[in-house]
Amino acid sequence: DSGVTQTPKHLITATGQRVTLRCSPRSGDLSVYWYQQSLDQGLQFLIQYYNGEERAKGNILERFSAQQFPDLHSELNLSSLELGDSALYFCASSESPTEETQYFGPGTRLLVL
Amino acid sequence: GENVEQHPSTLSVQEGDSAVIKCTYSDSASNYFPWYKQELGKRPQLIIDIRSNVGEKKDQRIAVTLNKTAKHFSLHITETQPEDSAVYFCAARYREYGNKLVFGAGTILRVKS
């Protein structure tokens, strides 16, 4: 157990819908990262937050957004869902925005039908 | 650009044999190279990492080597066991993109008993 928690574990929804994925970092970690894992794209970095502010952005679609709250938990919002958004979404955390070691949560498996 | 290539994509070894997975990275500014192990449906789990000021690091049956000049690094697993069967991902950290990890495509390791 890495100490990073994610909810829900599974999510099944329909195209066009909007979902919110939640992540709580390890105790003491200030930086949160979101990754998407799909069969064709592998593990892709989406976005990083540190202490509530966006720190780095990857290949995140405009339909996706994220935020980090004062208690340091983070939410990833996915809207206008398409079939291709079906994937595993992982959250990771690190002590600081420059601390290299990232610990991954258990992931949320999203299935868009 | 940011790219990490990983080889081979699949690797089958006999229990007790060694396994080697190789990765190359594109950005000479990368300074941190973790390896993650992912079992089916589970989170990526950090198994070993190496920083650019070190050429080799070992942890029991696992070792990682880094050649900065050639921009490649390798994972070595000795005395493989069936429980080593999993997908292994290498990654490189790109500092100018926050604390972003760019992952290789993964290697499916099968240890036959």
pLDDT in tens, A75-107: 999 999 999 999 999 999 998 777 778 999 999
State the pLDDT at residue A42.
Answer: 86
Q: Which residues neighbour A40 within 8 Å (Cβ) at sequence distance 6 or greater? A: none
A101 and B44 within 8 Å at the Cβ level: the answer is no
Answer whether B39's CB lies under 8 Å from B109's CB: no
B101 and A45 within 8 Å at the Cβ level: the answer is yes
State the pLDDT at residue B1.
Answer: 64
List, for residues B60-107, the tens digit of each pLDDT value: 999 999 999 999 999 999 999 999 999 999 999 877 666 788 999 999
The C-alpha atoms of residue A62 and residue B22 are separated, in whole angstroms, by 34
How many CB atoms lie under 10 A from the CB of residue B29?
A: 12
pLDDT band at A64 (very low <50, low <70, confident <90, very high): very high
The chain-wide mean pLDDT, for chain A, equals 93
Average confidence (pLDDT) over B4-32 = 94
Answer whether B64's CB lies under 8 Å from B33's CB: yes
Q: Which residues of A touch B34 (CB under 8 A)?
A: 100-102
Closest residue, chain B, to A102 (C-alpha)? B46
**Tokens representing residue B112 in the block:** 């036959």
B100 and A106 within 8 Å at the Cβ level: the answer is no
The chain-wide mean pLDDT, for chain B, equals 93
State the pLDDT at residue B45.
Answer: 95
